[in-house]
Amino acid sequence: MSSVPGAEELAELEQVAVAAATEAARFVVEERPDRLGVSKTKSTATDVVTVMDQGAQDLLRERLRAARPDDGFLGEEEGGSTTRSGLTWVVDPIDGTVNYLYRIPAYAVSVAAVVGNPRVPGEWTPVAGAVVNPATGELFHARTGGGAWRRLHGEESTSLVAPRPPALDRALAGTGFGYDPRRRRWQAALLLEVLPQVRDIRRIGSAALDICSVATGTLDAYFERGLNPWDMAAAWLVLTEAGGRFTGLAGDPPAEAMVVAAVEPLHTDLERVVRAAAEVVGAE
């Protein structure tokens, strides 16, 4: 894996991420057509990919290329490029597409600079990133070693330190479901095992915001199977810079197989419960 950039470059990357994500957030709100067109479907008909999704990604790609021409680009929609600098921008133009479609104000633009190869689990790590909720104007941003920051609409950023979590049986845990029915069946079976062991479960609908919510304490924990690098990259850094942990199971890196997000000691307890549940459920 390429090395983490120096302090000056990290600060630049964070600034670029914030500027690009903020502009794309404005775009998805202001340019939203009255009747939102569905441009195509991905894995199944319930995975709604809008014209706005591709438009926001194109905007992000242009802005990032102008600022950092040697970096690669990987987004949820079409049009990636390889890196010459060792850094790649991993973006989700609208994380929480279904919420966006239904005007539920919990969706996000997620922009992260990562080192390594974001297509290979365990071979990449985010070094700077920003997550914006366009509906509320809330912004989260971080860079490696720089702490996590939260900015509410029009205000200065304030330092974000994740609160001490409750015990597992008092913990409010977020999770999510994929678009593929087979995956959903597995996720529902896992939930049957986990639900009796926590305070309650929330399915809010944007992985990036859910993971940032663990940093603010709005959720105590989060787990999900099926996340892509663009769903997790920026929020992963926000949470870890806020003092939380973001891992896979049994020492694995966060990956499609599973992510578990929480502050210790809750992280250890939830990881154990999710790992045991996954063993009970078996193969997908």
List, in sequence order, the alpha helices (H) in 77-163: 97-101
| Range 244-263, binding ligand IPD (CB under 6 A) | none
Interface map 74-113 toward ligand IPD (x if CB under 6 A): --x---------------x--xxx----------------
Least separation, in Å, of the C-beta of 255 and ligand IPD? 13
Which residue number, 7 or 38, has a Cβ lying nearer to ligand IPD?
38
- 154: which residues sit within 8 A by CB, 6+ positions away? 137
The residue count of the chain comes to: 284
Least separation, in Å, of the C-beta of 168 and ligand IPD? 22
Least separation, in Å, of the C-beta of 26 and ligand IPD? 19
Q: How far apart are CA 29 and CA 134, in angstroms?
A: 7
- Find where tokens 């939102």 sit: 36
Q: What is the DSSP letter of 46?
A: T
**Bridging pattern class, strands 148-151 and 158-160:** antiparallel
- Find where tokens 């079976």 sit: 189
Token code pair at residue 267: 């992280």
| Range 132-191, binding ligand IPD (CB under 6 A) | 176-178
Which residue number, 72 or 96, has a Cβ lying nearer to ligand IPD?
96
| Range 21-60, binding ligand IPD (CB under 6 A) | none
Which residue number, 99 or 125, has a Cβ lying nearer to ligand IPD?
99
Which residue number, 96 or 126, has a Cβ lying nearer to ligand IPD?
96
Least separation, in Å, of the C-beta of 231 and ligand IPD? 5
Token code pair at residue 259: 């992510």
| Range 207-226, binding ligand IPD (CB under 6 A) | 207, 224, 226
- 281: which residues sit within 8 A by CB, 6+ positions away? 186, 189, 190, 193
**Which element (helix H / strand E) includes 67?**
helix 51-67
Least separation, in Å, of the C-beta of 241 and ligand IPD? 20
Contact 53, 38 (CB under 8 A): no
Nearest to 183 by CA among 283, 92, 277: 283
Total binding residues toward ligand IPD, as defined by CB under 6 A: 15
**How many other CB atoms sit within 10 Å of the CB of residue 166?**
15
Q: How far apart are CA 140 and CA 49, in angstroms?
A: 24
Interface map 186-205 toward ligand IPD (x if CB under 6 A): -------------------x
Least separation, in Å, of the C-beta of 108 and ligand IPD? 8
Which residue number, 115 or 249, has a Cβ lying nearer to ligand IPD?
249
**Residue with the shortest CB distance to ligand IPD:** 176
State the residues that interact with ligand IPD by CB under 6 A. Answer: 76, 92, 95-97, 176-178, 205-207, 224, 226-227, 231
